[in-house]
Chain A
Amino acid sequence: MTALLDVKNLQTHFFTRDGVAKAVDGVSFSLDRGQILGLVGESGSGKSVTGFSILGLIDPPGRVAGGQILFDGDDLLAGGEAIMRNLRGKRIAMIFQDPMMTLNPVLRVDTQMVETVRAHDNVSKAEALRRSREALVQVGISSPDERLQSYPHQFSGGMRQRVAIAIALLHKPDLIIADEPTTALDVTIQAQILSEVQNICAQSGTALIWITHDLAVVSGLADRLAVMYAGRIIEEGPTSDVISNPRHPYTRGLIDSVPQGKRHGAMLTQIKGMTPSLLKLPQGCKFAPRCPRADRVCEVEPTLDPAGPDRSVRCHHPHSEANGKATS
């Protein structure tokens, strides 16, 4: 069986006044039906741009400069805007950090949902309304009939995000790309949304790309993790393996820098330095200036190589496979 989504060597560049920002530089991954991929990385690492590229939503000065995006066997980049428009919203849906990117503040929720249904499916209004109602129930909104007749501003932030998710679900898409949909929400609301998303994917076999900067959030949700740094995937593999045994020094640093009960009051292990500017990336390994294991070899850029079962890592000196002891 071929993968639902196969991204090969994706290059998305922004041609700005100050130079070319290679926001995504050679990203490859694939995703099967019903699988959840967590795309993790710090601000500016290119997570959103990757998501937008798949949806064909990159605006000038940005452009997909190379690579392939195969969706169910079709090359999205070769297909042109018409094909993309047909897929977008129907077979691939997106959820944004700010639900108001999806919701129109001056239209009632039912109007918006019915419109979305009928944009791709030629069904009666009543049928469209029935499906909207069903989607709202699916994301755990109580008294959906009342809610359908409200305006977005009458909802709380968490509820708005759930409506946005419901809209994404209307066409039972094969793939949902969720760009930090819970970052602006409280922990308790975040947990609600995570549990609903988890159920939906399990029930309907929808594949999901969950973009976030918070490793902990996806660690309990995703099947696979891809960690991005400076426009590249630097580590990829099954979630539990990556979390319990991070092989890239950056992944390890990320995990260690999250405060975690046990080391209460002590100093956190920190990654020194700061995230580099895309316009001034170092030669060789992009993480080298911050990396505790860097040496001369790292002046040559490492490739994303297989590292253990079903995993890959982009590092000259990865931590060893056994519980993270140094190899070199």
Chain B
Amino acid sequence: MTEIATNTPVRIDSPSKRIAKQFIEDPVAVVGLILFGLVALIAIAAPWLAPQNPYDLAQLNIMDSSLPPGETSFDTEMTYWLGTDQQGRDMLSAIMYGLRISLLVATVSLALAITIGTIVGVFAAFFGGRLDSIIMRIVDLQLSFPAILIALILLALLGRGVDKVIMALVIVQWAYYARTVRSSAMVERSKDYIDAARCLGLPSRRIMFRHLLPNCVPPLIVVATVQIAQAIALEATLSFLGVGVPITEPSLGLLIANGYDYLLSGNYWISVFPGIALVVTIIAINLVGDRLRDVLNPRLQK
């Protein structure tokens, strides 16, 4: 008779728990995570946190224009901790709202690009053959051009607008995900559990989405953290160049651009503070991303 194996193996943490445990071992990454949490919180809660609604022209006072940091308002009690711009807008509030726009554009484009890239990548890997080579040719072609160039051309054609920027970012980014997902899906597809699923008569769609896809996610997370920082920077660049978001909904990039003209006349704060916000955001994301890459990389495990 077969014995029931009596002694159970050591209890092992679930993968996500293990990853979390390992993640917090690096203090720098934890700082990055906290910073990013703050940034995200500010972006989400901007309408409630910000002293002023920078889009509401009625709240602005032209008399307060270009006040340096720490000055109080001409008529109200309000203190402008980060100064005001040439229209008398509170920079602190503008940065909070700008962060909101920047992160919104980045995350929405990221979500769309991941979805498209993942589906394309999994299809290419699962069916292989001609479909695979055609898709991968397109991906290679696209990735051989600088992202900024493609985005500039697209926006020149599409015009300005938050939706247009998102569209451009999706088109620029999907190829990264398609390539990442395809390569990990190729590895996973060759494993026996995919053959086992085929043997059990499960349909291709189910195998692809229930078995193949979830196992391709870890490398995707790493690419996504790198890419979201890229997307924020790209959007800022586009806005800075004046082809990105419209002037009525300024993102960090546009704020920097606005202040740029006044930099030489000594009104540094209009440009520098949004710049710092941008840099902090990107650094925080990169710190988290780097650590995640280390923790998720199976080759560095054990």
Contact = CB atoms under 8 A, between A and B. Distances in A.
- A contacting B, Cβ–Cβ less than 8 Å: yes
Nearest to A280: B10
Nearest to B13: A18
A270 B2 CA distance: 9
A274 B5 contact: yes
B3 A279 contact: no
A279 B5 contact: no
Contacts of B3: 270, 272-273
B9 interface: yes
Interface residues of B, number: 6
A274 B10 contact: no
Contacts of A289: 6-7
Contacts of A276: 7
A273 B5 contact: yes
B10 A273 contact: no
A257 interface: no
Nearest to B18: A17
A273 B6 contact: yes
A279 B10 contact: yes
Tell me the dominant secondary structure on chain B's binding face. Answer: loop
A280 B9 CA distance: 9
Nearest to A272: B3
Interface size class of A (residues with CB under 8 A): 10 to 19
A186 B7 CA distance: 34
Contacts, number: 19
Nearest to A282: B7
A253 B5 CA distance: 16
A273 B5 CA distance: 5
Nearest to B21: A17
Contacts of A104: none
A277 interface: yes
Interface string A281-325: 000000001000000000000000000000000000000000000
Nearest to B6: A273
Interface in B6-29: 6-7, 9-10
A270 B1 CA distance: 10
Contacts of B9: 274, 277
A274 B2 CA distance: 13
Contacts of A270: 3
Nearest to B2: A270
Nearest to A276: B7
Contacts of B7: 273-274, 276, 289
Nearest to A18: B10
A273 to B, nearest CB: 5
A273 B10 CA distance: 14
A250 B10 CA distance: 22
Contacts of A279: 10
B17 to A, nearest CB: 13
A277 B6 contact: no
A289 B10 CA distance: 15
A18 B11 CA distance: 11
A54 B132 CA distance: 50
Nearest to B25: A17
Contacts of B5: 272-274
B12 to A, nearest CB: 9
Interface string A251-280: 000000000000000000010111011011
Interface of B: 3, 5-7, 9-10
5 contacts: A270-B3, A272-B3, A273-B6, A274-B7, A280-B10
Q: Which 7 A-B pairs have the closest CB atoms?
A: A272-B3, A277-B10, A280-B10, A274-B5, A273-B6, A289-B7, A279-B10
Given A270-B3, A274-B7, A277-B10, 15 more contacts: A18-B10, A272-B3, A272-B5, A272-B6, A273-B3, A273-B5, A273-B6, A274-B5, A274-B9, A276-B7, A277-B9, A279-B10, A280-B10, A289-B6, A289-B7
